[in-house]
Amino acid sequence: MKTKHVNRRDFFRLSATAGVSAMLIPGARAAGLPQVTANENEIPVRTLGRTGVKLPILSMGVMRADNPNVVRAAYNSGIFHFDTAHGYQGGKNEEMLGKFFAGKPRESFFIATKGKFDYPLRDDFEDSYERLIDQSLQRLNMEQVDLFYAHALDKVEEIKDERVVAVMKKFKEDGKTRFLGISIHAGKPELLDAAVEAGIYDVVLLSYNFKLSNLKETEEAIARAAKAGVGLVAMKTMTGGTEDAGGKKKINAQACLKWAWKNEHITTAIPGFSNYDELDECLVAARSPELTAGDQEYLATLCGQEMLYCQQCGKCRAQCPEHLPIPDIMRAYMYAYGYKYSRMSKETLGELNLSADICSNCETCQVKCPSGFDVSTKIAAITPVMQVPDEFLT
């Protein structure tokens, strides 16, 4: 895949009313757009699979952001793909984006949102899932999103389920979304293959970082998906945001992003920056995305040590006598201790229907995590957040 460049900061200044991404998003009006000479502020763009949409390699994961001024700074810097979800901040995340983009040229931004569903599917799945996307559209103040993901799938049968496929196709046919996708936290290459086989998914949002234990298999599956025309968007590129398992030392975000971008099949990454300093750090990387020898050496030093990123391999479930959803609990731990986002941690745990006396039946933990996680200690450290009132959470 050939990487091109575009300078969107000057583009915004010169063509605020014409729609700055009209030359990038198929179907947008191109009349009257000025020609812009690239300079040191340019951000490379890549094509999002068969959608034909060209996106900057840097996008914004809006999950943690609650300040519209940070969204404005990202938008004015040349970022125009914003990724949210139905459940983020109890819906307030979508509402914030809806207010921010009200009145702005629709072709000047590319919005993705996501929605979860219970599996096995309930009898009212179709109706409830349609209500979900309708509510998201209402919050976003939009008639159509650019991309809708079935969110956080971790089983092949979920991805290929006939009822799931049918309702997703209906969303697209009804004009509620331009493109369809799935998001997968689990590091399972077979899920990428399932997305290709299902035939309807235009994009896959996947965890992709230098710590993956099955990196070779994952990259082979990424290549197969790209060959089939599926667009690939990377999340969890920063392995939890810290170098250490305790969440005390911030990771080098630039090195992590550059590592992900070296794979030409990755169209864009969606780091969850929530302040100006984090945005600036990501922009520096995007404007000079070549992975240096120093970056490689730095990341190599981290490969063998325990960090906050759970591989989501699921081997712990079989070892646990209670068959607890340990991968999801570890993800909640990462949100609190890595992202410093305890509210999202509580939301994640709340979806798991855990009992108040979790782990009380075991004197010693029998789980031996392949990544070296001290599972029982992490569970003990994170589950109390379920009892903390929301107003005291970050």
Question: Following DSSP, what letter does each residue of 230-264 receive, concatenated?
Answer: -EEEEE-TTTTSBSSTTS-SB--HHHHHHHHHTST
Nearest CA among 212, 191, 187 for reference residue 201: 191
Buried b / exposed e over 72-101, threshold 16 CB at 10 Å, is ebbbebbbbbbbbbbbbbebebbbbbbebb
Q: Tens digit of pLDDT for each residue in 293-316? A: 999 999 999 998 889 999 999 999
Once rounded to an integer, what is the mean pLDDT over residues 10-33? Answer: 34
Once rounded to an integer, what is the mean pLDDT over residues 351-370? Answer: 90
Once rounded to an integer, what is the mean pLDDT over residues 9-26? Answer: 36
Distance CA 18, CA 33 (A): 7
Q: Rounded to 5, what percent of the chain is helix, strand, coil?
A: 40, 15, 45
Once rounded to an integer, what is the mean pLDDT over residues 362-378? Answer: 92
Q: Tens digit of pLDDT for each residue in 113-131? A: 999 999 999 999 999 999 9
Distance CA 75, CA 228 (A): 31
Query: What share of the chain in percent tops pLDDT 90?
Result: 82
pLDDT of 5: 59
Task: Answer whether residue 9 shows pLDDT above 90.
Answer: no
Q: Token pair 């945001």 is at which residue?
A: 241
Task: Answer whether residue 19 shows pLDDT above 50.
Answer: no
Task: Answer whether residue 85 shows pLDDT above 70.
Answer: yes
Distance CA 74, CA 70 (A): 6
Q: Tens digit of pLDDT for each residue in 243-288? A: 998 899 999 999 999 999 999 999 999 999 999 999 999 999 999 9
Q: Token pair 């404007």 is at which residue?
A: 287
CA count, 13 A, side-chain hemisphere, 258: 20
Task: Answer whether residue 100 shows pLDDT above 90.
Answer: yes
> How confident is the prediction for the chain on average, in pLDDT?
90
pLDDT of 355: 87
Nearest CA among 240, 233, 239 for reference residue 192: 233
Task: Answer whether residue 41 shows pLDDT above 60.
Answer: yes
Take residue 363 and report the two structure tokens written for it: 């004197």
